[in-house]
Structure 1
Amino acid sequence: MHHRPEEIAARLLKAPYDRLDARAQKVARHVAERQHIARNLAQEGDERRPTRGQRAADAVARFGGSWTFVGLFGAAMLVWVGLNGWLMSRHGETFDPYPYILLNLFLSMLAAIQAPIILMSQNRQAEKDRIGAEHDYEVNLKAELEIMLLHEKLDELRQAQWQELLALQQRQLGLLSDLIGERKNAPPMG
């Protein structure tokens, strides 16, 4: 039993098909045409190759958010402070005396460059997440509509079985009353 998308929208979504958003229309079409809607988004993501800049932003974000980066950053800070302390004790002067203004400049520049690169990567990930959420919505809506259709079919089957059961009982009662009537009209035995 196939349905048209307009019927699916009206009966299950309680809205005219042309008033549904594009995703709901797509789901109604898939339900009506009995097509699957689930797909592998990870595989689709591979088909749309990221640009070199996007790959670089992802690599910077991956490295900048790792324990390796934290360890290397901490080691560089210790070397900077230790080298300045050693130079001060040996030669009485250093390339970046305390409070390490040159180090602060480098750290500010690193943060100024790293922050927008990480944001670019996060924006790309947010777009992937949005696409995933939209796909999840479509799959969930289709599953919900299919379950509603199954409930309708079960209700129809149950109603048909009740009708058959009632008709069978009516026939049995008719046969029983015929049998009782025949017994009353039969000559006594004996």
Structure 2
Amino acid sequence: MQQRRNELATTLLGSEFQDLEHDEQAVLSGIAAGVPIAQDASDLDDANADLADRLADRVAAIGGSWSFIIGFALVLFGWMLLNSEVLAHFGMAFDPYPYIFLNLMLSTLAAIQAPVIMMSQNRQAAKDRMAAKLDYQVNLRAELEILRIHAKIDEEIIARLDRLSERLDRTG
């Protein structure tokens, strides 16, 4: 197997196998073993994600949706209406205008939500880098396989031309 990989590295990439980058080594190992190398970046990322990662993604997905914005706006207007009209009418408003407690809650939510969304964005960037790496490997594999096919076709054409030339020499 090692000899086959060294031969492929020299023939296709013009370098020794051990001198190649990890991605190139993985591609040549896949060619030598005759196995596909295509992988889904999302599947790999999901398999490596821990609970905190999945939670960050879920919070970012909910916090970045129209349903969250609409629901949150309804809660805010409800809070204001409850404290300005309903409870204030009975003298029981626990957070009257200027809604200091509501401002504290909003600030706390923003302070917690922003870093969680940043974590999710960092994970998405890592997933994008992984997808680009996997795409590179697949593209390199396809290019190398095309080069191998071209070489085989060229060898077959040369062999046929040699046989034709021998026939012509015998008849001529």
> Contact conserved, 1:96 with 1:103, CA < 8 A, in 2?
no
What corresponds to 1:63 in structure 2?
62
* Structure 2 segments unaligned to the other structure (5+ residues): none
* Structure 1 segments unaligned to the other structure (5+ residues): 175-190
| TM-score normalized with structure 2 length | 0.79
Matches within 5 A, 1:38-77: 38-45=38-45, 47-48=47-48, 50-77=49-76
Instruction: Quote the offset at 1:146 in angstroms.
Output: 0.8
What corresponds to 1:13 in structure 2?
13
- Name the CA distance, whole Å, in 2 between partners of 1:51 and 1:82: 41
How many aligned residue pairs are there?
A: 169
What corresponds to 1:180 in structure 2?
none
What corresponds to 1:152 in structure 2?
151
Instruction: Quote the offset at 1:82 in angstroms.
Output: 2.8
Q: Could you tell me the percent identity over the aligned residues?
A: 42
- Name the CA distance, whole Å, in 1 between partners of 2:15 and 2:87: 79
Q: Whose radius of gyration is greater, 1 or 2?
A: 1
What corresponds to 2:97 in structure 1?
97
Amino acid at match of 1:65: G
- Name the CA distance, whole Å, in 1 between partners of 2:59 and 2:43: 23
- Name the CA distance, whole Å, in 1 between partners of 2:18 and 2:47: 32
- Name the CA distance, whole Å, in 2 between partners of 1:150 and 1:101: 73
The CA RMSD over aligned residues, in Å, is 2.8
* Residues 85, 9 of structure 1: alpha-carbon distance in 2 compared, 3 angstrom cutoff: same
- Name the CA distance, whole Å, in 2 between partners of 1:138 and 1:19: 17
| TM-score normalized with structure 1 length | 0.73
Deviations 1:132-167, CA, capped at 9 Å, x for gaps: 332222222111111100011111111122222233
Instruction: Quote the offset at 1:120 in angstroms.
Output: 2.2
Instruction: Quote the offset at 1:44 in angstroms.
Output: 4.8
* Residues 68, 109 of structure 1: alpha-carbon distance in 2 compared, 3 angstrom cutoff: same
My pick for the range that moved more, 109-118 or 14-23, is 14-23
> Contact conserved, 2:40 with 2:131, CA < 8 A, in 1?
no
